[in-house]
Amino acid sequence: MRRHHRSAALTTAALVGALLAAGCSSGSGGKQSETGGTDAAAGKATTPRMTVALVTHAAPGDTFWDLIRKGAQAAAAKDNIKLVYSSDPVAGNQANLVQNAIDQKVDGIALTAAKPDAMKAVVAKAKAAGIPVVGFNSGLDNWRELGMLEYFGQDENIAGQAFGERLNQQGAKHAVCVIQEQGQVALEARCAGLKKGFKGTTENLYVNGTDMPSVKSTLTAKLQKESTIDRVVTLGAPIAMTAVQSVKDAGSKAEVATFDLNKDLVGAIQGGDIQFAVDQQPYLQGYLAVDALWLYRTNGNVSGGGTAPVLTGPAFVTKDNVDSVAEFAKKGTR
């Protein structure tokens, strides 16, 4: 059954990619409810005003979520939606934010399920209240059992395998996969996929992603201790930029490649400090999640038929194609 779902998902993803063109872990994390949607796209729906809650596990300072919010705001502006954003990296607190949205009687909820067990009860409450829920970014293996209508994101295990295969092509032998939040399903799946696809040695290194000086010192010590490490694999753009400094401080010959993208990382790829990035297109995730709720409310549409996710990645950004992405990164949408 899983294989069938992936096949259907890839077909859907191909259609999305063909329509929207190819486009990668949080806006200002920890913030409570904020309204958005002032960056209007061309055209605007004349359907009745809706309110949609976007609830994520964003950590403070993680710029990845800025991209998701911009995509969500663009869809909200087009669809005549009042977008209310809230986030908390602590799973229980995130569940409370979803409960707040239910209490406010919103018309739809889009959420991330980085810790699926914490979302189970509150998603059930939303369904009982007649509020449709879609998932995005985290929780690909759990969205259907949680009772969500649709899911938009990247199959992180498949992306990790593709990452490992690229390292094989480069002749890498020893990779360290830096995980900035232990137990976060999407991050763990990336490193698990890497281990499956990479023929060399893979080991995980857990760091505190909210404390960059600690990330830097922990990784530097690791590289100094194990000189055979020739690839540092990071799971977020800010971690990747810190890893570049760790490699230099350790006097290591390791090269850095990463998941996810932002403006600074684009420059690092252009300059050769970062080998490549896997872009899961977060702007697209935010846009599709909000737009899907509008389509469901106004026309009963369900992407993937409610059985297959819509995949937004992986797309590899390398020195060969980074210039085509750079102009969008400058605008803050890639």
The predicted structure's pLDDT at residue 72: 98
Q: Which of 54, 48, 58 has its CA nearest to residue 133?
A: 54
Which residues have a Cβ under 8 Å from the Cβ of 274 and sit 6 or more positions away? Answer: 240, 244, 256, 257, 258, 265, 268
Mean pLDDT to the nearest integer, 211-235: 97
Domain positions in the chain: 50-154+282-302, 156-279+319-331
pLDDT of residue 1 exceeding 50: no
The predicted structure's pLDDT at residue 60: 85
The topology under which CATH files domain 50-154+282-302 is: Rossmann fold (3.40.50)
The pTM of the full predicted model, rounded to 2 decimals, is 0.82
pLDDT of residue 218 exceeding 70: yes
The predicted structure's pLDDT at residue 144: 97
Please, what is the average pLDDT of the chain? Answer: 89
Q: What number of other Cβ atoms are within 10 A of residue 253's Cβ?
A: 10
Distance between CA atoms of residues 49 and 175, nearest Å = 50
The predicted structure's pLDDT at residue 136: 98
Handedness of CA 323, 327, 331, 334 (dihedral sign): negative
Mean pLDDT to the nearest integer, 102-112: 98
Q: Is 156-279+319-331 the same fold as 50-154+282-302?
A: yes
Antiparallel, parallel or unpaired: β 315-318 and 274-279: antiparallel
What digits encode the pLDDT tens for the residues 122-172?
Answer: 999 999 999 999 999 999 999 999 999 999 999 999 999 999 999 999 999
pLDDT of residue 208 exceeding 50: yes
The structure tokens listed for 5 are 């779902």
Exposure string (b/e) for 162-176, b if CB count within 10 Å is 16 or more? bbbebbeeeebebbb
The predicted structure's pLDDT at residue 42: 52
What digits encode the pLDDT tens for the residues 67-93?
Answer: 999 999 999 999 999 999 999 999 999
What's the CATH number for 156-279+319-331? 3.40.50.2300
Mean pLDDT to the nearest integer, 174-202: 96
Q: Mean pLDDT lowest for which of 8-12, 33-37, 110-114?
A: 8-12
Task: Select the more confidently predicted residue: 14 or 207.
Answer: 207
Q: What number of other Cβ atoms are within 10 A of residue 208's Cβ?
A: 13
pLDDT of residue 115 exceeding 90: yes
The predicted structure's pLDDT at residue 61: 80
